[in-house]
Amino acid sequence: MEQKKTNIRELNLEQLVESLASIGEKKFRAKQIYEWIWKKGAHSFSEMRNISQKVIDFLEITYFIDAITISDQQKSKDLTIKCAFKSFDNHITEGVLIPTTSRITACISSQVGCSLSCKFCATGRLKLMRNLSGGEIYDQVLILNRLSLQHFEKPLSNIVLMGMGEPLLNYKNMMEGIEKITSEEGLGISPKRITVSTAGIGKMIKKLGDDEVKFNLALSLHAANDVKRSRIMEINDSNNLEVLADSLKYYYAKTGNRVTFEYIIFKDFNDTLMDARELADFCKNVPVKINIIEYNPIDEGEFQQASTENVDAFAAYLEALNLVVNVRRSRGKDIDAACGQLANKNGAIALKERVLK
């Protein structure tokens, strides 16, 4: 019977030391392998050039690396790059590289599909297939950083977990991935350059506070009215605005980190000055900044983009109250890479056929 291999990226350094000791290898050898995996981003054991063939053979027999690879890649006319990532078990997720004059941002995924079914989001129409591992979350950053250097001759400046899936429903793996992205034994990227976006799971927002995280938190709010928010986000039925306000206050008390509210603005739904007033009232709970996001239509979607006049009036109302407001214009729409559009349209036909059965 063939021995079942273990994902080597699930081992910490101490466990790897113990494993290598079983074949008579010293501690420094495990440290070398660990560095190949996390610092250098090796996706195969054969890449580990300073490791003996004897050890490589042991690793090949005993372990595998749950590496992801690019199965499809598209470049927008605004230079945004969307990648379809293929996992070792043939699942597809998507990530986006977004260049602007001031920064280069990697938008990465936390799950294959999503379970939340938000009405305005194409990803929500896919079933949740599985969580991504910490290594797969790390790999997206590794690959997009290499693409950034290749295409723009600059490393990533920011990372946002705003792709496919709900990060707080994959909490352990998300935290492990971010730990490797930020640690000196990994990519060494400052946690202040990382933002985790959530649809709003109160108890997990509190857990972020308990863990005193250093990265940034963004809440996909989109309405500061329970009736409206529940209409577009089912998660609001179990995590309403009162629950979210309580969890955000707890999070802020523990971390001191200002929260970002993401507010996709829809025509004739949440784009009036009354909606802006409700949002301003909700902003009194914790120090915040507000990103007003242009809506990106999806196939057979029920919403439309708000008019420029309404968006500008909405933002001006909030700014008059001394709130920090940014209006985010969408990028990558021509390749379905904009906010809410990630749904494996390219490079993932087989997955979608499985999901929709």
Helix axes 273-282, 308-320, angle to 10 degrees: 40
Residue with structure tokens 């439309």?
304
Long-range pairs for 184-191: beta carbons < 8 A, 24 or more residues apart: 185/13, 185/34, 185/35, 185/38, 185/39, 186/38, 186/39, 186/138, 187/39, 187/138, 187/141, 187/142, 187/145, 189/141, 189/156, 189/159, 191/215
Q: Could you give the CA distance from residue 320 to residue 252 in angstroms, rounded to a whole number?
A: 24
Strand partners, 195: 160, 216
Examine the residue annotation and report whether 25 is marked as an active-site residue of this protein.
no
Q: Out of 94, 166, 176, 262, pick the active-site residue.
A: 94
Q: Out of 83, 121, 283, 339, pick the active-site residue.
A: 339
Reported residue count of the chain is 357
Q: Could you give the CA distance from residue 333 to residue 248 in angstroms, rounded to a whole number?
A: 32
Examine the residue annotation and report whether 136 is marked as an active-site residue of this protein.
no
Residues carrying an active site annotation: 94, 339
